[in-house]
Amino acid sequence: MKVTLYSAQPYDERFFEETRLEGFADEAFELVYQTATLTHQTTALAEGSDAVCVFVNDVLDAVVLEALAGMGVKAIVLRCAGFNNIDLAAAERLGFFVARVPAYSPEAVAEHALALAITLNRHTHRAFNRVREGNFALDGLLGVTLHGRTVGIVGTGRIGLATARIFKGLGCRVLGSDPFPAPDFADIGEIVALDTLLARADIVSLHCPLLEATHHLINDASLARMKPGAMLINTSRGALIDTCAVIEALKSRQLGALAIDVYEQESGLFFRDRSSEIIDDDVFSRLMTFPNVLVTGHQGFFTVEALREIAQVTFQNLLCLTRGVHCDNALITRQVSVSP
């Protein structure tokens, strides 16, 4: 079975090859690593493949899916949990098998949300640079004690729950908002309406999926309902936040601080070294001018454990396909025959 991996980074190749050797050496998988992102322009790279393996910023709209189907590609395996980048209706119509990795170390993302909150609150990123330059002044590094503060978790699924547990461990009061709250959340905090959470939380951390209903969940109106000076953290998907509205809220001081691991226009920016390029995204560049904004390039998942899990589960998903057995991680199940 020939599988083309799009958006493949050196670490993807390392963990896929290690995992193949450890557990799947007897299976006839031919893996082709392509650094290119899957777009309308790059579908031809999958020529001759039975499956494509994609990540968060690969584009799987109807046009791309039709092109892949036309080339004989039968399966799409996602190396991620979120599937907002695939037109599932089109994939189903075209008869694709689609599977994902539903959970890969939720704690990895939760720990990154904590890292962002603590860094931004105590300014350790600025202290690091200052001390290296022999500047030991504390002015500008003032934080607050998180113990006793209120943290609002929007989306109490796997990652939200893990984040809630961590903040509870710090001695924070934890609130959650979720149309289908995790039953375990009751042991950690209180489920409230989103507006109540926004009004009461000193830190709001987003962990719900990107859906039509959650697109720009954080907008002018919801920012106005937040506690003045609160911190907003997004490690979920960029388009949960209206970035222009957030910039206005930062300028008016209504929003006290922003930490994002995801950005709504990240597909043209993240996962590449652009340090010698001119960034022509003016909204992103404006964000970079605020001292109270911290951005990381979608690295919440980036731990050894998570990369192993992603490779392991992706191979298992592919095996379900080749063996024609039920796949727990399938978003669309199809009996498709592929060359062994």
Residue closer to ligand NAD by CB (options 94, 201) is 201
Least distance to ligand NAD from the beta carbon of 148, Å?
25
Q: Which among 149, 158, 237, 309 is annotated as catalytic? A: 237
* Tally of CB atoms within 10 A around 6: 26
Least distance to ligand NAD from the beta carbon of 48, Å?
31
DSSP 38: P
Q: 206: part of which helix (H) or strand (E)?
A: strand 203-206
| Strand-strand pairing, 190-191 and 173-177 | parallel
Residue closer to ligand NAD by CB (options 94, 231) is 231
DSSP 283: H
Question: Can you give the binding site for ligand NAD, defined by CB under 6 A?
Answer: 81-82, 103, 106, 109, 154-160, 177-180, 182, 207-210, 213-214, 235-237, 261-262, 298, 300-301
Classify the C-alpha dihedral 28-33-39-44 as positive or negative. Answer: negative
Beta strands in 6-104 (DSSP E): 30-33, 51-54, 75-78, 97-99
Residue closer to ligand NAD by CB (options 313, 338) is 313
Can you give 107-133 as a three-state secondary structure string? HHHHHHHHHHHHHHHHCHHHHHHHHHC
Beta strands in the chain (DSSP E): 2-5, 30-33, 51-54, 75-78, 97-99, 150-154, 173-177, 190-191, 203-206, 230-234, 255-260, 293-295, 330-332
Residue closer to ligand NAD by CB (options 2, 100) is 100
Least distance to ligand NAD from the beta carbon of 299, Å?
7
- What's the CA gap between 335 and 340, in Å, rounded? 14
Least distance to ligand NAD from the beta carbon of 129, Å?
25
Least distance to ligand NAD from the beta carbon of 39, Å?
20
Residue closer to ligand NAD by CB (options 137, 213) is 213
- Give catalytic status of residue 93 as yes or no: no
- What's the CA gap between 285 and 294, in Å, rounded? 12
Residue closer to ligand NAD by CB (options 3, 262) is 262
- Give catalytic status of residue 272 as yes or no: no
Q: Which residue's CB comes closest to ligand NAD?
A: 157
Least distance to ligand NAD from the beta carbon of 217, Å?
7
Pick the closest to residue 155 from 117, 113, 98, 118 (CA basis).
113
- What's the CA gap between 260 and 231, in Å, rounded? 11
Catalytic residue numbers, as ranges:
237, 266
